[in-house]
Chain A
């Protein structure tokens, strides 16, 4: 069903996205942590409507890739293009404004704030009033606050979380916290959503629901998604393209089917047959 086409760089992209500017391109991306090269020569291209997976054993460098893409770490080598724009001079904030939003492997919510305020924080840049308006509460303040409150509730409603709006974020159950992180990321209106192990700690039912949610996000918001995940059934089910990372290098790229049958991947996950016993 989904077909990948290969670019001259060796990267793959979905056939339906082939003529459009990719939402993300990386060339020779790499970072060293004092001698240890955590990510090396990382090349991918992600089309604007693609759900792709980034998988690999523990410590392979997956989270580090997300930290590079969002400029939490500055790359030692290579180039990142977001919607065709070079991000080498951008900060984390600029990258978000350019269209990249993310969640975190170890949840990072604003725990003491309410659920709806967590979402509203992320809508800061789409609000238009200055500090004086805020301090002296002109009608514009009320208008904007009302508009954004409504928007935040609408967004929460899509994820069936609007009745939790006034709950303190830190007191939510684990699964709901992961979901709220996704909602918060979406509130910045990204064109690329990075999900770091969204199913971690979820039971099979929750994982199934999450799968539908992720597909729903792509269809409703028309954006690209990259997800890091250890749950293989989830990855194989919803990802259209997959890159496998091991020791900071991409060892395989392709459709779920290609990856499942790739001996190099199997070896990376299970170790060489001779070594086992």
Chain B
């Protein structure tokens, strides 16, 4: 028992412990607020999407931060997960009344579908060295959106009906449209809950950290840090990168399913390239490979501007400015030194205030 406790707080695992604590604390605080003084409905409506974006950002950090590849297609995986989840949930609705179970199945299948798509993308692309993954995932994200904009899918007693052309589908009595092209999915039964979002974040952290502290995590990081050295000790670069990418796609797909089942209507246009970039911004600002940072930066950058509606118009502007600043700071030696000096100064001032003796 003592050993487990020591293990949780030792240097190697402290970042993991902090991530879990931040998420659990956030959940508890929000639950308490909801059950006591109550929270505004605007704030409440942001809870599930925030959880979803946190999960996608964490998943993307596995690819960008841990395995060192750039993906610009995570909104595409979200889309695959979202619409798969909506279809599955819609199909199951007449047969399965238990909502949470239907949500779970929808998320599971959505994740698997996104994972399969991710596998198909990564097999040819990761054979090549360089930034090809970024280019192909960018294209993928556009293709998925265009594809979904042209898919019509309905269900009736005779089964599923599918077409690329509107009006080609004539449904029998009692039939429903599941997807209607650019209008997307309509009349979705909203299954998503904040608790489900919270649990999905915990599940995501569990997967990412467990993978990182395993032989696969070691190889993924070795392949990132020194390709030639990793190959020389028998690490198959493409396999390690593929593993990280596919797991990331699965998690993004699960988040997508939860996201989709949080609204009564959902258009494919929601998952455009901008969303991928936005999530990448959360990851970069949160810190590559830094999961706690990613959670916090997503909360601040997604939820805050939504809450301060007045800022909405300037959100993209603020992002751009912050992003440019970050690039300047990380690439400019003198600026970097200056910020580091500033940080140490602030730190030492704080320490003085806390009257901690330092020598």
- Tell me, yes or no, whether A125 is within 8 Å of chain B by CB: yes
* Interface-located stretch among B79-87, B129-137, B208-216, B316-324: B208-216
Residues of A within 8 A of B222 (CB): 110, 113, 121
* Chain B residues in 8 Å Cβ range of A117: 218
Residue of B219, B221, B229, B247 contacting most chain A CB atoms (<10 Å): B229
Give CA–CA (A187, B207) in the complex, Å. Answer: 28
Using known A-B contacts A109-B226, A110-B229, determine if residue A97 contacts B234 with beta carbons closer than 8 Å: yes
- Please list the residues of chain A having a beta carbon within 8 angstroms of any beta carbon in chain B: 70, 72, 91-93, 96-97, 101-102, 104, 108-113, 117, 120-125, 127, 129, 131, 134-137, 141, 144-145, 148, 184-185, 187-188
Nearest-neighbour CB distance to chain B for A183, whole angstroms, equals: 11
User: Beyond A135-B210, A135-B211, is A121–B228 a contact (Cβ under 8 Å)?
Assistant: no
A136 contacts which chain B residues (CB < 8 A)? 210
Residue B236 interfacial (CB < 8 Å): yes
> Which B-chain residue is minimally distant from A98 (CB atoms)?
B234
In the assembled complex, the Cα of A188 lies from the Cα of B233 at a distance in Å of: 6
| CB nearest to A170 among chain B residues | B225
A-B contact pairs, 15 of them (CB 8 A): A72-B231, A92-B231, A93-B234, A97-B234, A101-B233, A104-B229, A110-B230, A112-B221, A123-B215, A124-B218, A129-B215, A131-B216, A131-B247, A135-B207, A135-B214
A-side contacts of B206, CB under 8 Å: 135
A134 touches B228 (CB 8 A): no
Q: Does B232 contact A (CB under 8 A)?
A: yes
CB atoms of A109 and B229 under 8 A apart: yes
CB <8 Å contact, B232 and A70: yes
Task: Write the nearest CB–CB distance from A92 to chain B, whole angstroms.
Answer: 4
Docked Cα-Cα span, A248 to B229, in Å, equals 24
B233 touches A185 (CB 8 A): yes
* Interfacial chain B residues near A113, Cβ < 8 Å: 218, 221-222, 225
Q: Are B215 and A127 in contact (CB under 8 A)?
A: yes
List of A residues within 8 angstroms of B229 by Cβ: 104, 108-110
Q: Are A101 and B230 in contact (CB under 8 A)?
A: no
**Chain A residue at minimum C-beta to C-beta distance from B212:** A134
List, in ascending order, chain B residues with CB within 8 A of A145's CB. 214-215
Q: Could you tell me the distance between the alpha carbons of A262 and B234 in the complex, rounded to whole angstroms?
A: 39
Is A110 a contact of B231 with CB atoms below 8 Å?
Answer: no
B residues touching A (Cβ–Cβ < 8 Å)?
206-207, 210-211, 214-219, 221-222, 225-226, 228-237, 243, 247
B50 → A minimal CB distance (Å): 25
Q: Which residue of B lies closest to A113 (CB)?
A: B221
Q: Which residues of A contact B235 (CB under 8 A)?
A: 93, 121, 124
- Given contacts A109-B226, A110-B225, whether A134 and B233 have CB atoms under 8 Å apart is no
Are A124 and B228 closer than 8 Å at their CB atoms? no
Cβ contacts under 8 Å, B214 to chain A: 129, 131, 134-135, 141, 145
Give the CA-CA distance A92 to B235 in the complex, in Å: 9
Q: How far is the CB of A133 from chain B (nearest CB, A)?
A: 8
**Residue of A101, A108, A129, A185 contacting most chain B CB atoms (<10 Å):** A108
In terms of DSSP, what is the predominant structure of the interface of chain B?
helix
Residues of chain A contacted by B219 (CB below 8 angstroms): 121, 124
CB closest residue in chain B, given A148: B215
> Please, which residues of chain B bring their CB within 8 A of the CB of A131?
211, 214, 216, 243, 247
Q: For the complex formed, measure the closest distance between the CB of A155 and the CB atoms of chain B, giving whole angstroms.
A: 13
Q: How far is the CA of A210 from the CA of B236 in the complex (A)?
A: 31
7 tightest Cβ-Cβ pairs between the two chains A and B: A134-B214, A108-B229, A122-B233, A92-B231, A96-B234, A121-B222, A125-B234
Task: Return the chain B residue nearest A133 by Cβ.
Answer: B214
Partner among B216, B233, B247 whose Cβ is within 8 Å of the Cβ of A96: B233
The residue on A at minimum CB distance from B206 is A135
Contacts A124-B215, A134-B214 hold; do A102 and B232 have CB atoms under 8 A apart? yes
A50–B247 Cα gap in the complex (Å)?
45
Report A104 CB to chain B, min CB distance, Å.
Answer: 7
Complex Cα–Cα for A12 and B170 (A): 83
A90 to chain B, nearest CB (A): 11
Shortest beta-carbon distance from B146 to chain A in Å: 33
Which partner residue on chain A sits nearest B243 by CB separation? A131
Assembly CA distance A257 to B247 (angstroms): 59
Structural contact, A93 and B215, CB atoms closer than 8 A: no
Complex CA distance for A111 and B222, rounded to whole angstroms:
9
Indicate whether A92 sits within 8 Å of B211 (C-beta atoms), given known contacts A108-B226, A110-B222, A120-B218: no
Known contacts A110-B225, A129-B215, A131-B216; A122 and B234 CB within 8 A of each other: yes
- Assess the A72–B228 pair: CB atoms within 8 A: yes
Interface contact A137-B210, CB-CB below 8 Å: yes
